[in-house]
Structure 1
Amino acid sequence: MIKLSSLFSLLGIVLLQFGCANSQPTQKPNIIFILVDDLGYGDVGFNGSQYYETPNIDQLASESLIFDKSYMYPTCSPSRTALFTGKQSFRTGVYTVPVLEKGDAEENVFSRWTLSREHPIYSEALQGLGYQSIHLGKWHIVGPYPQAELAMEWPIDHKLSQPDPGDFSWVANHKSAEVRAYYPEGRGFEKNVGGTFRGDPAFEKGGYSSENGGYRAPFSNPFIDPKPNDEWLTDRLTNEAISHMKRNKEGPFFVNLHYYTVHRPIKSRNETLYKHFMDKSGDPASGQGMGKGKETMAAYATMIASLDENIGRILQYLDEEGLRENTLIVFSSDNGYNGGQSSNHALRGAKGEIYEGGVRVPTFFNWPGKIQARRSEIPIQVVDYYPTFLDVAGLGPKTSEDGISLKPIFKEEVEQLKERPIFWHLASINKHGTCSAVLVGKYKLIQFLKDGQIELYDLEQDPLETKNIAETKTEIREELLQSLLQWRQENQVPLPPNSILEF
């Protein structure tokens, strides 16, 4: 197994070589970044779903570079912060969704919510390169009370809170010049449609139990101006995306299309679709559309079908305008599926968990003529998007503090990168205890921070992570553990106060 220090040196050489080979100036491409909320690895046809229907997504994926080992954090807040900055969670202090944390200040390093201005995000760099950028949908990197949060002395001794659904007392402050500096318009985007502190669309009284749930018009989101033809939130966000592309079709444009779907609350797109999925046989292999959760999964299936329809609309527009050839389309999800609304018997865990079902997501990159369509076993991680976007936009071979540009592998595999280490650090409690983890090749090691307990899995032989081989594969365990300890020590990664570990 390749040593960590040697691998980092190798990554630098690979990036330098490919950067020199591709240094000729070209027309800046358009970029569309489609990020779905809570869409599981197995919730799409191109990853094997037999129940959910995604024909447009599947067709696009067949023409794309699909990453079989694409990893996020297990919840949205750290994933989105890492996406925007190219930095791991310990650098920004965002470990999970603050309101989901459990336990006290001895057990947790409580999470921040607002991404401070000291951390630049990719849209700011793209703005400097002449990109006309729009943010659509979920933002979630500003807290509900940002001034108070930013004034706190960190670490704090309690978790942060948010207003109840139906409480709009925060809106005036969030539309002030001071707070809008933390909103899309203050971070390189020319327009924000629907982005706020909140992680779901159900702003109205009743929240998830309300009739509309934020998905059906009239929308309760104070950062979406009502329009007469409003009907369904996913449609509206797509309408805005296409309008932005029309206004800026001479390019370059950047569309940050971060759909709220398929996050809870689960709402049926319409009765016709709902009946179709209720009548459709479920899939025993995945558990999708089966058992007591049939009604919820049928409604969830309508939301996925709506997502697929809207991606089809975007592709149709790009084709009609002749924009596909100069447009990079990136498709992914911010974490694994929510266990209460879908199923995947092939992977352990779900949203909130460090196991594969919580962190492995469906991902592909599409760029006709610039990307070789295939499935890749090279592992990629959430911090790679920032340097990739900047590299594609013309800033040359880039790394962020923690990620690398994926552009060198658009055309061909770089075999050495298959052994690249992928790290996670979860310093606050959500679904399980605090932990760090490292993935190298087919092996994944998890160390729980409270007591140092080790779990080791061979994902090739045991994708369900059912057999902890830490006591039998001792050499592998020690090598991965040392790389994890070295990573934490060199980066001064904070541990919860109750941890028995030195670093």
Structure 2
Amino acid sequence: MITMKSLLATVLVLLIPLMSPSNATASKPNILLIMADDVGCDAIGCYGGQSHPTPHIDALARGGMQFSHAYSMPVCHPSRVCLMTGRYPFRFGAEGMKWGDFPEAAEGISIGDRMKQAGYATAVAGKWQLCMMKNDLQHPRRVGFDSWCLFGWHEGGRYHDPLIYQNGQRREDTLSKYGPDLYVEFLIDFMRQSRRDGKPFFAYYPMALCHDVTDDLKGRHVAPYKDGRWMTYAEMISSMDDMVGRLVAALEQMEIRDETLILFTTDNGTPAASYLSVDADGKMARPKVFSIRNGEVVPGGKGKHDDTGTRVPLIANWPGHVRAGTQTDQMVDLTDYLPTVADVAGLEDEDVFRDGISFAPPLFGDARKRQRDWIYSEHRGKRSIRSPQFRLHDDGRFFDLITDPNERQPLSIDDLPHEANQAHARLQRRLNELKTPADR
């Protein structure tokens, strides 16, 4: 006769494997990391943006966690070094600050390398900007990516008739095609193949969108969008959102949406201007870019150390694991992504120096382990550091961001109240410490 006690014991035996951290889905989810280009919070609907509909990105926020204190560097290259290495660029000395290059010391310890250590298939598609690809066709492989599809930075177009290198070869089939379509198709094929192979995947999508076209191709211009012009910023935002929607739909079609953590962020704030057309003299015209956010007109702030240049979206979505509809004030910067995905993948601590701190604990409901209370920023010899309330620039300017979010009137250091004086001293000590290159 089956007793209630024996029935419960049987049920527990059946459930234990499902609850175990060693369960493949629980311990090694697929990870899709999307980093859009030149998109500040002001351009995203769920962050109060009103100029550009972003329904697919907004849906990720409704179904996951939205961070209100996520930050980047003021411009794209140092942001990419941060994300790829988990370190601030100055940690690599002059090599870390060299525009469009990647520190040789970071080869073997990058985010791609780390995910391969966890048994992941790895791929990257979109914008690389970490080498001149024509001169180093295997560079992505050396930093941990099994496969790649990347446009030739400052070699040709990234959108229409794009110049693309795929797995060490220049593609010859891109005429009359749209680059973002090709990057997304490549990633979908990669994810589908990884599923067939039974391996978890790490798909990194540093988008070309929404950076405008380049103007340094020695007397020629890249292919226009239509009517002799390139895409407006609004059109690029719409396309960016569409690409996010296509990737989510593909995961659903493959029936692996619930097994996939999606992280969406950007590399810096909205640009102040964007190339749109050619004037009567054949020069590229670059009108200003503005967005409306929460009823206020916000000019693009890319390149600035303030919030218009460095405060960016961050959305985490993993059905059944990241609680839907949640928001957090936890501070995150781009050095934190490498330790976070390593943490999610189940890797143990490593004997490699990282500036970043994993934000996996707050993703899954444990905010107690989160320690970051400052954000560091550097660009063209200028540095700044901020807490949730204050920002200190290395030229001595000190702002209360609660009362002066646009940083119009620096505080008088001699007249600071006690709490502000303590905050200033803490930030100054930390800024002074952030100068030393990493030993390893």
Q: How does the TM-score come out when normalised to structure 2?
A: 0.78
Shift in CA distance, 462/87, structure 1 to aligned 2, threshold 3 Å = same
Greater mean deviation of Cα atoms: 244-253 or 227-236: 227-236
CA distance in 2, matches of 1:363, 1:221: 28
What residue in structure 1 maps to residue 59 of structure 2?
Answer: 59
Shift in CA distance, 422/487, structure 1 to aligned 2, threshold 3 Å = same
Counterpart selection for 1:411 from 354, 360, 364: 364
CA contact (8 A) 2:90 2:97 kept: no
CA distance in 2, matches of 1:130, 1:186: 17
CA contact (8 A) 2:362 2:370 kept: no
Counterpart selection for 2:303 from 352, 369, 392: 352
What residue in structure 1 maps to residue 382 of structure 2?
Answer: 435
1:185 equivalenced with 2:141 (yes/no): yes
Match of 1:386, as an amino acid? L
Report how far residue 411 of structure 1 moved. 3.0
Shift in CA distance, 259/230, structure 1 to aligned 2, threshold 3 Å = farther
Match of 1:487, as an amino acid? R
1:487 equivalenced with 2:430 (yes/no): yes
Shift in CA distance, 121/115, structure 1 to aligned 2, threshold 3 Å = same
User: What does 1:167-206 correspond to in 2, within 5 Å?
Assistant: 171=134, 173-175=135-137, 180=138, 183-194=139-150, 198=153, 203-204=155-156
CA contact (8 A) 2:155 2:163 kept: yes
1:115 equivalenced with 2:71 (yes/no): no
Q: List gaps (5 residues or longer) in structure 2.
A: 1-18, 215-222, 275-288
CA contact (8 A) 1:71 1:360 kept: yes
Counterpart selection for 1:125 from 108, 114, 126: 114
CA distance in 1, matches of 2:35, 2:114: 20
User: What does 1:419-498 correspond to in 2, within 5 Å?
Assistant: 420-426=373-379, 428=380, 434-448=381-395, 454-471=396-413, 472-473=415-416, 475-476=418-419, 478-493=421-436
Q: Give the aligned length.
A: 381
What residue in structure 1 maps to residue 256 of structure 2?
Answer: 323
Report how far residue 63 of structure 1 moved. 0.9
Greater mean deviation of Cα atoms: 30-39 or 185-194: 185-194
CA contact (8 A) 1:40 1:357 kept: yes
CA contact (8 A) 1:347 1:356 kept: no
Match of 2:117, as an amino acid? G
CA distance in 2, matches of 1:300, 1:247: 34
Counterpart selection for 2:268 from 335, 352, 357: 335
Shift in CA distance, 329/308, structure 1 to aligned 2, threshold 3 Å = same
Report how far residue 403 of structure 1 moved. 1.3
Q: List gaps (5 residues or longer) in structure 1.
A: 1-21, 100-111, 145-169, 205-212, 275-294, 429-433, 449-453, 495-503
Report how far residue 379 of structure 1 moved. 1.3
Deviations 1:266-288 (A, max 9, x none): 987667xx9xxxxxxxxxxxxxx
Deviations 1:418-446 (A, max 9, x none): 871222244x3xxxxx4332222222222
CA contact (8 A) 2:84 2:338 kept: yes
CA distance in 1, matches of 2:421, 2:332: 23
Report how far residue 226 of structure 1 moved. 3.3
User: What does 1:182-331 correspond to in 2, within 5 Å?
Assistant: 183-194=139-150, 198=153, 203-204=155-156, 213-217=157-161, 219-223=162-166, 224-227=170-173, 231-249=177-195, 250-265=198-213, 299-331=232-264
CA contact (8 A) 2:272 2:299 kept: no
CA distance in 2, matches of 1:390, 1:422: 21
CA distance in 2, matches of 1:445, 1:23: 46
Shift in CA distance, 361/396, structure 1 to aligned 2, threshold 3 Å = same
CA contact (8 A) 1:445 1:477 kept: no
SS at match of 1:395: coil
CA distance in 1, matches of 2:427, 2:298: 23
Shift in CA distance, 326/186, structure 1 to aligned 2, threshold 3 Å = same
SS at match of 1:35: strand
Report how far residue 64 of structure 1 moved. 1.6
CA-based RMSD of the aligned residues comes to: 3.1
CA contact (8 A) 1:438 1:480 kept: no
Shift in CA distance, 214/416, structure 1 to aligned 2, threshold 3 Å = closer
Shift in CA distance, 174/415, structure 1 to aligned 2, threshold 3 Å = closer
CA contact (8 A) 1:74 1:359 kept: yes
Report how far residue 247 of structure 1 moved. 0.6
Shift in CA distance, 228/446, structure 1 to aligned 2, threshold 3 Å = closer
